[in-house]
Amino acid sequence: MKPIRQPNSVCHVVIATPEGLFFILKTFPLCATTRSSRISRTSSRLVHWPLDHCPAKRTPGLPRINKPILIFPTMEKSKDVEAGKGPSSIPHWRLVFDQGLVTDEVMNWKYAGSGTDEDPYVVNWIDNDPRNPMLFSKVKKWFLTALVAIATLAVAFVSSAYSGGIREILAEFGASQEVGILGVSLFVLGFAIGPLLWAPLSEIFGRQVLFVTTYGGLTAFNAGAAGSNSMATLIVLRFFAGAIGSSPLTNAGGVIADMFSAQERGLAMTLFAAAPFMGPVLGPIVGGFVGQTVGWRWVEGVMAIFTGVLWIIGSLLIPETYPPVLLRKRAAKMSKMTGKVYRSKGDVDQGPTTFGKVFSTSLLRPWVLLFREPIVFLLSIYMAIIYGTLYMLFAAFPIVYQQGRGWSQGIGGLAFLGVAVGMLMAVAYSVWDNKRYVKVSTENQGFAPPEARLPPCILGGICLPIGLFWFAWTNSPSIHFMASIAAGVPFGFGMVLVFLGIMNYLIDAYTIFAASVLAANSVLRSLFGAAFPLFTSQMYDNLGIHWASTIPAFLALLCVPMPFLFYKFGPKIRENCKYAKQSMEFMRNMQKQMAGGESKEDEEKEEQEAFDYSYESESHGDAETPKFEEIKTGNDSQGLGGARLSRTSTYEHSPYDIDRVNTRESFTKPRSRASSLRRGA
């Protein structure tokens, strides 16, 4: 590429404060010869002036910084750039109801292409784009995070609150205990089926549409269950409520990933992760008191009211956040407004999204990974056993506390408070432990090994059998009830740590296949969660409350070595697993490109290579060579917008979305994330 001379450019001499604000101290014409695609590197080689020798007066009140002042070249010819200027403000209602938002700045932006079918305008985020979820204010990001977390908690709450009215349900319909517990099992079975549908559909329609439709369906089925006139009707409606209402279990995490970069979303994801665990624990407490006072129909009614209120609030306040859908809608709107041809960046790079493409990936690849990758299979079995044990408690606690001790339904539900306390302690511990992980990541130049995620999992794995054995041999009516309820603390603590540790390990070990791995994991654990409650009553009748409670404790004990095994031998195991090895090679290649070891000749190359793993890999033999694909710089005249690998790059693709064929979009610069998203790679 020939150098581009920019005689009309200007340079800004700026100073950065610790608060992240930039103040312009001097603006002067610049006649520099730079390569636009390397402008971010070239800028570091331009003139540096120490603060004491700055030709302009220092702004009063600014802290004294003993570092060279940064100089940023721009394409503006005369006027200064406003320091700290953020996205233009638009009303929140437009974010919610206008997915294809087009402002004057968007319309007048210079896009790559010529506007024809052969060479369409390529639509990507512009500078300070008000519709870019990554540029939402922190207040808005955390408000939406809290909203989707509560929506997820409500779904998990509905799964178990039903158990608070089982006694009245059995009395009214004359059903057996096993048939009554089907209302819980079939709801959880819906968790196994629903996500396989909602994840690919979000690729096509976005997250907002799915939330409005599925949450409305969840509310309708809950209301229908309240009016059921037979046991069969009730359990069928419960199944559909679980299948349709399960969309937040996948899409809510995607909303958070849309708004926070990979380096920023750790805390948000940790706090959000408490929702699927706290919901099932709160369900029996609320359901028990409602069931004993106003009957089981009002248990279903309270569920319908709860989800209905959240449905209305979410429909009015949660905007679409999925960038491919937003850019696709914007491109279609601009094409209609101008008569020119606009295409979104994703559609240009990967082709239009079709039902066949996304469903073939979401329905096939999870099973391939589950049964061909020992890492995925073993750790998914571990999580499934713990998840099944949690739902087994919804049938076991009524036997231990209501039948054994004569407690009422409401008081019996309070036995879950011990588990809830342990879960909250685990969330607090995870926030604290994140400092350790950040330190490890820094020591490895931002590439902490996946095994760095496992120390909390090891601790949690030890706590799980302790809590279960504790409960098994202290749940007799002759022993004070606080002894067995307190056993829920180590169980809840260990369960959350094991879940978070394993999920983060799988995401890091299978970066480019993370979505399929999580889908496989979700399906298997939901199947266990549906099955365990079905045999709980017979197991307790035949074995007694002590030995029946000991069985899941032994299962948890058998799984204790797993985190130790992967922590010690994880790299060797991943080297011998087909898909884990491909992910390792992808990350190694990415790390090499960021290591700063490029020669001068390499820096002058116009294109770089990144791994591109095709969907075709599932249908070939064992020996496969990853495909390579060029990373394009886009419109070179856009200068800073050209996305290049830097030493601070990270893999940004959301683990909650369909795995990408083309992974090059995940190379971004965290410190200038907004800039890399604005104009495209």
| Tens-place pLDDT, residues 69-118 | 444 443 333 333 333 445 667 888 999 999 999 998 999 899 999 999 89
- At 611-629, the pLDDT tens digits run 333 333 443 334 333 333 3
pLDDT given at position 611: 35
Say how far apart CA 115 and CA 430 lie, in whole Å: 50
DSSP secondary structure letters along 126-139 = -TT-TT-GGGS-HH
Tens digit of pLDDT for each residue in 305-351?
999 999 999 999 999 999 999 999 999 999 999 999 999 988 888 77
pLDDT at 587: 82
How does residue 657 score in pLDDT terms, banded at 50, 70 and 90? Answer: low
Q: At what angle do helices 488-509 and 274-294 cross, to 10 degrees?
A: 140
Q: Which of 12-21, 175-184, 456-465 has the highest mean pLDDT?
A: 456-465
pLDDT higher than 90, residue 634:
no
State both tokens at 502. 């394993």
The 8-class DSSP code of residue 16 comes to E
Residue 346 has what pLDDT?
A: 84
pLDDT of 575 above 70: yes
Report pTM. Answer: 0.75
- Mean predicted lDDT score pLDDT of the chain: 78
- φ, ψ of residue 4 in degrees (nearest 5): -110, 125
Q: Can you give the pLDDT at residue 455?
A: 95
Give dist(CA 151, CA 421) in Å, integer.
21
Average pLDDT score over residue span 585-606: 60
Supply the pLDDT for residue 555.
96
**pLDDT class for 591, splitting at 50, 70, 90?**
confident
What is the pLDDT at residue 86? 53
Q: What domains can be seen in the chain, in order of their start residue?
A: 4-74 (no CATH), 90-353 (1.20.1250.20), 366-599 (1.20.1250.20), 600-679 (no CATH)
pLDDT confidence of residue 158 = 95
Q: What is 461-513 written as a DSSP string? A: HHHHHHHHHHHHTT-STTS-HHHHHHTHHHHHHHHHHHHHHHHHHHHHHTGGG
pLDDT of amino acid 594: 67
**Residue 138: pLDDT band by 50, 70, 90 thresholds?**
very high
- Label residue 655 by pLDDT band (50, 70, 90): low
Is residue 248's pLDDT more than 70?
yes
Q: Average pLDDT for residues 485-511, to the nearest whole number?
A: 93
> Do residues 99 and 206 make contact, with C-beta atoms less than 8 angstroms apart?
yes
**Confidence at 653, pLDDT banded by 50, 70, 90:** low
The H helix count followed by the E strand count for the chain is 26, 9
340, 115 Cβ separation under 8 angstroms: yes
Contact (CB, 8 A) for 207 and 320: yes
Q: What is the pLDDT of residues 439-465, one digit of tens each?
A: 998 888 878 899 999 999 999 999 999
Q: Which of the pair, 675 or 130, is modelled with greater confidence?
A: 130
